[in-house]
Structure 1
Amino acid sequence: MSAANFTLNAQIRTNEGKGASRRLRRLEARVPAVIYGAGKEAQSISLELRELVKAIESEAFFSHVLTISIDGQPQQAVIKAMQRHPVKGVPLHADFLRVDAAQKLVRKVPLHFTNQDTCVGVKVGGGAITHYTSEVEIACLPAALPEYIEVDMSDIDVGTTLHLSNLKLPAGVEIPALALGHDYDQPVANVHATKAD
């Protein structure tokens, strides 16, 4: 996986409320945010809009442990939620959850399907690939958080469905749904025969 490193510079925010948030966005080009968790009090902070927009261009931002430097004090966190402008798509508010190196995180990470063009069920069997999901919920310690889970399609034949239990997970990563029993072993992708003309 990649060694992307995301550090955001933040400032403590003292003025709260909708009016203060609007002024912050309009006059200072900053995004209001909150950081909470890990047994500490929630802190109202603000981030530079330009810095945040650049960071969220990377898919990895949403599945990485980030460093939020609040007035020079670094804190480890993950993005929990982000409100965006309905038309412009720019961030309006962000929620960050502090992480504790000794506590497991539960996060959704993207699935990256590889070798689809060389998939035996497509190349030899003339089938087609269907994806049922583009992400999976995992649990792991912050240090083991993967950027994504790779799904290798090269050896998948026509009529085969891959389930959550077929995913090859990095060390220290688990899928909580699988602990709930066979009924929760959801399909991820399959290769199916295409109808002849």
Structure 2
Amino acid sequence: MKFVAFERQAQGTGASRRLRNSGKTPGIVYGGEGQPQLIELDHNALWHALKKEAFHSTILEMELGGKVSKVLLRDVNMHPFKQLVQHVDFQRVDAKTKLHMKVPVHYVGAEESQAVKLDHCVVNHVISDLDISCFPGDLPEFIEVDLSGLKKGTSLHLSEIKLPKGVTAITHGKKDPVLVSVVSIGGGEEATEAAAGAAPADAKAAAPAKDAKAAPAKDAKAAAKK
């Protein structure tokens, strides 16, 4: 993805406020061999770009002063309640330096699995994005995980998926975290079968009660004849 940035001269809170009022968003680009540089971007173009998943997880081409450099989006500061981007940070990409990024996980094939198709289980996505380390040339836009092999009562762990070439997962605390868990819906068919099995017994229990009510009525008619 490509975007255009412009050099920003003015600094400070007041200058940034005036910049936002004019439809621009202040930002900064840092890292690599160059010095940190203040930039500004068109707010509307930035707003629409931020809605795209790839803008957050892939290497971007930034045109600045007639030159194109590769950068990563590192931070976005949003207004507490307005649809307003207050500030953005970008990091220059060095082809020889490994990146540490969060990449979204796309789950596919769950509807075709035995757990969902036959056993009518619910598949819970425990992790929606994954911390990874890789060189810029190996950075994936997302990681796709096939769930078609899921079975009832199982879970899918990180060690069970194949990561793209050159990509290493970074875990925090747990060595082999759960990505997806399969939960069976309890009480459905079993409860129906139990209710059906109990019906004849209830009917038998109810029969004597009807006879008990009928007996006093016959006694009353006999008393009337007398």
TM-score by length of 1: 0.90
Deviation at 1:133, TM superposition (A): 1.3
Note if 1:21 corresponds to 2:16.
Answer: yes
Report % sequence identity: 36
Q: Would you say the 8 A contact 1:64–1:146 is kept in 2?
A: yes
Note if 1:89 corresponds to 2:89.
Answer: no
1:9 partner SS = strand
- Uncovered stretches (5+) of structure 2, i.e. residues with no partner: 189-226
Q: Which has the higher contact order (CA 8 A, sep 6+)?
A: 1
Larger radius of gyration: 2
Distance 2:161 2:133 in 1: 14
Deviation at 1:137, TM superposition (A): 0.4
1:103 maps to what in 2? 97
- 1:19-44 Cα offsets, whole Å, 9 max, x none, are 101111112x1110000011321101
Query: What code does the residue aligned with 1:100 have?
Result: D
Query: What code does the residue aligned with 2:21 have?
Result: R
Query: Which portions of structure 1, spanning 4 or more consecutive aligned residues, are displaced by more than 3 angstroms?
Result: none
- 1:27-62 Cα offsets, whole Å, 9 max, x none, are 2x1110000011321101001112211211211110
Higher strand share: 1
Deviation at 1:143, TM superposition (A): 1.4
Q: Would you say the 8 A contact 1:112–1:148 is kept in 2?
A: yes
Q: Which runs of structure 2 are paired with 1:5-84 in the superposition (5 Å)? A: 6-27=1-22, 29-84=23-78
Distance 1:163 1:113 in 2: 13
C-alpha RMSD of the superposition: 1.5
1:122 partner SS = helix
1:3 maps to what in 2? none
2:120 maps to what in 1? 126
Q: Would you say the 8 A contact 1:13–1:45 is kept in 2?
A: yes
Distance 1:17 1:171 in 2: 44
Query: What code does the residue aligned with 2:17 have?
Result: R
Note if 1:140 corresponds to 2:151.
Answer: no
Q: Would you say the 8 A contact 2:157–2:177 is kept in 1?
A: yes
Q: Residue 187 of structure 1 is aligned with which of 175, 178, 185? A: 178
Deviation at 1:76, TM superposition (A): 0.7
- 1:58-106 Cα offsets, whole Å, 9 max, x none, are 1111001011111111111101100112222331100001110111111
Query: What code does the residue aligned with 1:148 have?
Result: F
TM-score by length of 2: 0.79
Query: What code does the residue aligned with 1:8 have?
Result: F
Q: Would you say the 8 A contact 1:33–1:46 is kept in 2?
A: yes
Higher helix share: 2
Distance 2:25 2:179 in 1: 36
Distance 1:167 1:96 in 2: 31
2:35 partner SS = strand
Q: Residue 151 of structure 1 is aligned with which of 141, 145, 164? A: 145
1:117 partner SS = helix
Q: Would you say the 8 A contact 2:2–2:62 is kept in 1?
A: yes
Q: Would you say the 8 A contact 1:110–1:135 is kept in 2?
A: yes
